[in-house]
Structure 1
Amino acid sequence: MSPLLTSAYSPDTFRQQGHALIDLLADFLADAQAGNQPPLHYREPDDELAFWQRDFEQPTNPDPAAVWKNLLTHSIQLHNPRFMGHQVSAPLPLSALTSALTSLLNNGQAVYEMGMAGNALERLLTRWLAGRLGLGPEAGGLMTSGGTLANLTALLTARALKAPTDVWADGSTDRLAIMVSEEAHYYVDRAARIMGLGSAGIIKIPTNDRFQMQTALLGPYLKQAQADGLTVFAVIGSACSTSTGSYDALTAIADFCEQHNLWFHADGAHGAVAALSDTYRPLVRGIDRADSVVVDFHKMMMMPALVTAVLYRRDADAFRTFQQKAQYLWADASSPDWFNSGKRAFECTKLMMSAKVYTALKTYGEALFTEYVEAQYGLARQFAEHIAGQTDFEIAVQPESNIVCFRYIGATVSPDRINELNSAIRQAMLTDGQFYIVQTSLRGHTWLRVSIMNPLTTLDHLKQLLDAVRQLGIGLIRQYGM
Structure 2
Amino acid sequence: MLQEAYSADAFRTQAHHLVDQLADYLQQAQSRQLATVIPYRSPDENLAFWRDDFAQGSGDVSDFFRKVIDQSTHLHHPRYMGHQVSPPLPLAATAGLLSGVLNNGMAVYEMGLVSNPLERIISELLARRIGFDENASGLLTSGGTLANLTALLAARAAKAPGDVWQHGSQERLAVMVASEAHYCIDRAARIMGFGDAGIIKLPVNEQFQMRTDLLDAYYQQAAADGLRVIAVVASACSTSTGAYDHIEAIADFCEKHDLWLHVDGAHGGAVVFSERYKPLVSGIDRADSVTIDWHKMLMTPALATSLIFRRNEDSFRTFHQQAQYLWSSDADDWFNSGKRTFECTKLMMSVKIYTILKAYGETIFAENVDTLHELAGQFAARVRQHPNLELAVEPQSNIVCFRYIGAPVSELNQINTTIRQQLLHDGRFYIVQTTLHGQVYLRVSLMNPMTTMADLDALLSLIGSLGD
The residue type equivalent to 1:437 in the other structure is I
Q: Deviations over 1:393-423 (max 9, x none)?
A: 000111110000000111xx11111111000
Q: Does 1:472 align with 2:466?
A: yes
Distance in 1 (CA, whole Å) between partners of 2:220 and 2:424 is 46
TM value normalised by structure 2: 0.99
Q: Does 1:254 align with 2:248?
A: no
The residue type equivalent to 1:424 in the other structure is T
Q: What is the aligned counterpart of 1:7 among 4, 9, 32? A: 4
Map 1:427-446; keep pairs closer than 5 Å.
427-446=421-440
Q: What is the aligned counterpart of 1:221 among 218, 222, 242? A: 218
Secondary structure of the 1:300 match is coil
**Cα offset, 1:59, TM superposition:** 2.5
Partner of 2:315: 318
Q: What is the aligned counterpart of 2:286 among 276, 285, 289? A: 289
The residue type equivalent to 2:223 in the other structure is Q
Q: What is the aligned counterpart of 2:390 among 384, 388, 394? A: 394
Q: Does 1:17 align with 2:11?
A: no
Q: What is the aligned counterpart of 1:40 among 38, 51, 76? A: 38
Map 1:170-181; keep pairs closer than 5 Å.
170-181=167-178
Distance in 2 (CA, whole Å) between partners of 1:60 and 1:396 is 51
**Cα offset, 1:224, TM superposition:** 0.4
- Contact (CA 8 Å) 1:157, 1:317: kept in 2 or not? yes
Partner of 2:274: 277
Distance in 2 (CA, whole Å) between partners of 1:59 and 1:338 is 46
Distance in 2 (CA, whole Å) between partners of 1:136 and 1:300 is 24
Matched residue count: 467
Q: Does 1:452 align with 2:446?
A: yes
**Cα offset, 1:384, TM superposition:** 0.5
Distance in 2 (CA, whole Å) between partners of 1:59 and 1:168 is 49
**Cα offset, 1:240, TM superposition:** 0.4
Partner of 2:54: 56
Distance in 2 (CA, whole Å) between partners of 1:79 and 1:89 is 9
Q: Deviations over 1:207-263 (max 9, x none)?
A: 000000010100000000011111100000000000000100000000000000000
- Contact (CA 8 Å) 1:135, 1:290: kept in 2 or not? no
Map 1:265-414; keep pairs closer than 5 Å.
265-332=262-329, 334-410=330-406, 413-414=407-408
Distance in 2 (CA, whole Å) between partners of 1:6 and 1:326 is 35
RMSD over aligned Cα atoms:
0.7
**Cα offset, 1:173, TM superposition:** 2.3
The residue type equivalent to 2:449 in the other structure is P
Partner of 1:480: none
Distance in 2 (CA, whole Å) between partners of 1:300 and 1:182 is 24
The residue type equivalent to 1:59 in the other structure is G
Distance in 1 (CA, whole Å) between partners of 2:33 and 2:415 is 29
**Cα offset, 1:34, TM superposition:** 1.2
Q: Deviations over 1:289-345 (max 9, x none)?
A: 00000000000100110000000000010000011110011110x200100000001
Distance in 1 (CA, whole Å) between partners of 2:378 and 2:209 is 22
The residue type equivalent to 1:47 in the other structure is E
Distance in 2 (CA, whole Å) between partners of 1:234 and 1:361 is 33
Distance in 1 (CA, whole Å) between partners of 2:302 and 2:186 is 21
Q: Does 1:100 align with 2:94?
A: no
Secondary structure of the 1:440 match is strand
Q: Which runs of 5+ in 2 are unaligned?
A: none
Q: What percent of counterpart residues are identical?
A: 58
Q: Deviations over 1:70-91 (max 9, x none)?
A: 1111110000001000000000
Secondary structure of the 1:233 match is strand
Q: What is the aligned counterpart of 1:123 among 120, 125, 140? A: 120
Secondary structure of the 1:400 match is coil
